Amino acid sequence: MTIRRKTTIIPAVLALLLLALGLPQTIDSVLWLVTGDSPDELAKESPASPGLATKNAALLERAGAWFGDPKARIRAGVLRLRLIGAPGSTQIDQTELARAIDDVVAGLAQAPADAFAWAALAQAEIAAGNRSGAKRAFITSLLVADHDPDLSLWRCELGLRLWPLLDDDDRSMWNDQVRLAWDRHPAGLLSLARRDTAFIPPIRIALASDPVRLAVFEKELNNSR
């Protein structure tokens, strides 16, 4: 018990020291030591431990209030968003969804150029049934930072879920995400295509501008069937 308590206190002390040194932008990184999560896990559908994720979301919300760090509030919103699809859940928890949206929107009020947060808001609005709002958030994420390999696979799925609402310009931007995802996360893109056959035609269209990419995608997809 003593050892665990010390490992929890140390990052908090570091955060206070960093704030005193005028480095609030580093607090978000320190908070990951406290919560035990990592940024690359946040786009997953559900957390490994819903109970721990709930506690971590509350911690991040408090940190956002204490330090004025929008990233902490945004991370809290994404963790709450993931709780909606937690193992064993049979329907959307509207209270959790509302808190997730509140957290992300609050973070964006302070950091409107955060492409990650706009993608998170798009996912939340899809869950809430607000597809027009989801589209606006999704397109904003693309416009804020169109070349972000870490967001590309997540954006691929968001675009596929919003496909009927996208116009030609939107789809052109989305095509770039598909090509970026294929170059950086080919296994993930293949997994997305296998999940729903309706996803395959748009992915093919996006990759068609490069016959080599498309040929490899088709080969890998066929090998998995």
pLDDT in tens, the chain (225 residues): 434 434 444 444 444 444 444 444 445 555 554 454 544 444 455 555 666 777 777 788 887 777 777 888 888 888 888 888 655 555 778 888 999 999 999 999 999 999 999 999 999 999 999 999 999 999 999 999 988 888 999 999 999 999 999 999 999 999 999 999 999 999 999 999 999 999 999 999 999 999 999 999 999 999 866
Extract the tokens encoding 4.
């665990």
Task: Render the chain in DSSP notation, one character per residue.
Answer: -HHHHHHHHHHHHHHHHHHHTT-GGGHHHHHHHHH---GGGTTSSS-S-HHHHHHHHHHHHHHHHHH--HHHHHHHHHHHHHHTT-TT--S--HHHHHHHHHHHHHHHHH-TT-HHHHHHHHHHHHHHT-HHHHHHHHHHHHHH-S--HHHHHHHHHHHHHTGGG--HHHHHHHHHHHHHHHHH-HHHHHHHHHH-GGGHHHHHHHHTTSHHHHHHHHHHHHHT-
pLDDT, residue 98, reads 93
pLDDT for the residue 88: 52
Render the burial of 101-122: b for 16+ CB within 10 Å, e for the rest: bbbbbbbbeeeeebbbbbbbbb
Q: At residue 62, what is the residue type?
A: R
Q: What does the alpha-carbon distance between residue 22 and residue 16 come to, in Å, rounded to a whole number? A: 10
Are the C-beta atoms of residues 51 and 82 closer than 8 Å to each other?
no
C-alpha radius of gyration, the chain, whole number: 19
Name the region of 62 (left: φ>0; alpha: ψ -120 to 50; beta: rest).
alpha
| Residue 110, pLDDT score | 92
Alpha-carbon span 8 to 30, nearest angstrom: 11
The structure tokens 């968003």 sit at: 81
